[in-house]
Structure formats: C-alpha cells, structure tokens
C-alpha cells in the first residue's frame, strides 16, 4: 500500500476504463471531466450578504479547498465558474455580462441566494429579477443567504456537471442557440 492509501486522505478515483499491465485506457471526455471537476477555479462575484457567507465557506471551518476550488480566480479570464452572490442591480447588468463574456469556455454559472436567482425580497425598480435574464445559469442555490453547507452542495452540483460534460458540448447547435438567446456569441 502506498503512503496515501494508508492515510485517511481520499483521492479521486480513476474513471471507468480498460486496465491492463502497464496501461490504462479511458475516453478523453472522462479524463478531461475528471480534471475539470476537481480543479474548478471559481470567480466570486460577491455583491452583498451572500458574499459574507461565501467568505465563511472559503475560510477554515468549511474549507472550499476540500473540493479543489480554493484557488479563487478574481480574473474572469482564468475562471471556470462564475459564482454570482448577492443582489444584481440594473446598474450592474453590463458588468455581469462583461465578466461572463470574458470567461473562457467551458464556463459554468452558479446563482447563490434568492437575489441572484430571482431578485429575492427586492422586487423593486432598481433590482434585476434574477440573473438568468441576462446570462445562462447552471445551478441555483436557494436561501437568503444560503448556509455554507448549501453553497458546498451547489458547488458539488457544478462538479457533477463538469465531470459529465462532453468536451464537444460547447460546439453543439443547442449551446449556440442558448448563447444566441442571451445575445452572446
């Protein structure tokens, strides 16, 4: 037994494949998915209260690092996951869209909290009623604000998406149609 196996550290299991003496074969999709899943670089787009719960999630007690997502990328260019946390006002719309468009494929979006998902309690003239009106969203986390456990659960849902997504999905006509719906390329 190797040192790692002896300790209680869990390492990610290899995907299904054909194993033989001196070789291991699996599909490209699975191998890439495995890598993407366990090294998500989130861009915390924190605007209000949910941002503080995200700080709690990222800090020592809840520790996002356990999911390979502790490397917060504040530059959209290197980020995989856009975490929109908090109220998005109408003044903020162009900023959110620009940040999303600056991200490289593949990109996922997580709407954390009621405000980002639906406008929440702020059904007012100045607040955008859910970010899915301007950018496509993959996972919604309910709560006002959600507990850190919920944030972790949301992140794990994104991990599932990342693991199962084929490398070609972004070239499919459905995806292009979705982008067109939002007026993006």
Which 8-state DSSP code applies to residue 182? T
d(CA 102, CA 79): 9
Q: Which is nearer to other proteins, 16 or 123 (CB)?
A: 123
Here the tokens at position 76 are 């959209």
Q: Which is nearer to other proteins, 33 or 148 (CB)?
A: 148
Rule CB under 8 A: which residues touch other proteins?
Answer: 44-49, 51-53, 55-56, 59-61, 72, 74, 86-92, 95, 99, 119, 121-127, 129, 144-145, 147
Q: Which is nearer to other proteins, 23 or 125 (CB)?
A: 125
Helix or strand run (H / E) with residue 166: none
Q: Smallest distance from the beta carbon of 176 to other proteins, in angstroms?
A: 26
Q: Which is nearer to other proteins, 121 or 178 (CB)?
A: 121
Q: Smallest distance from the beta carbon of 66 to other proteins, in angstroms?
A: 14
Q: Smallest distance from the beta carbon of 27 to other proteins, in angstroms?
A: 37
Q: Smallest distance from the beta carbon of 172 to other proteins, in angstroms?
A: 29
Which 8-state DSSP code applies to residue 157? H
Helices (H) and strands (E) in the chain, counts: 7, 6
The CA dihedral of 74, 113, 120, 118, to the nearest 10 degrees, is 80
CA angle in degrees (0–180, nearest 5) for 29-35-40? 120
């Amino acid at each position: 037994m190797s040192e790692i196996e002896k300790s209680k550290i869990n390492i990610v299991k290899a995907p299904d494949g054909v194993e033989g003496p001196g070789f291991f074969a699996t599909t490209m999709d699975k191998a890439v998915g495995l890598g993407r899943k366990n090294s998500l670089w989130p861009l915390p787009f924190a605007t209000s209260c949910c941002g503080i719960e995200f700080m709690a999630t990222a800090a020592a007690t809840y520790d996002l690092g356990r999911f390979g997502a502790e490397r917060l990328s504040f530059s959209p260019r290197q980020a995989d996951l856009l975490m929109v946390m908090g109220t998005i006002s109408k003044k903020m719309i162009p900023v959110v869209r620009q940040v999303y468009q600056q991200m490289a494929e593949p990109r996922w979006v997580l709407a954390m909290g009621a405000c980002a998902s639906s406008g929440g309690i702020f059904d007012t003239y100045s607040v955008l009623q859910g970010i899915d009106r301007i950018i496509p969203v993959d996972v919604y986390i309910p709560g006002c604000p959600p507990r850190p456990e919920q944030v972790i659960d949301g992140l794990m849902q994104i991990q599932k998406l990342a693991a199962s997504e084929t490398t070609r999905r972004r070239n499919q006509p459905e995806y292009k149609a979705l982008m067109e719906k939002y007026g993006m390329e």
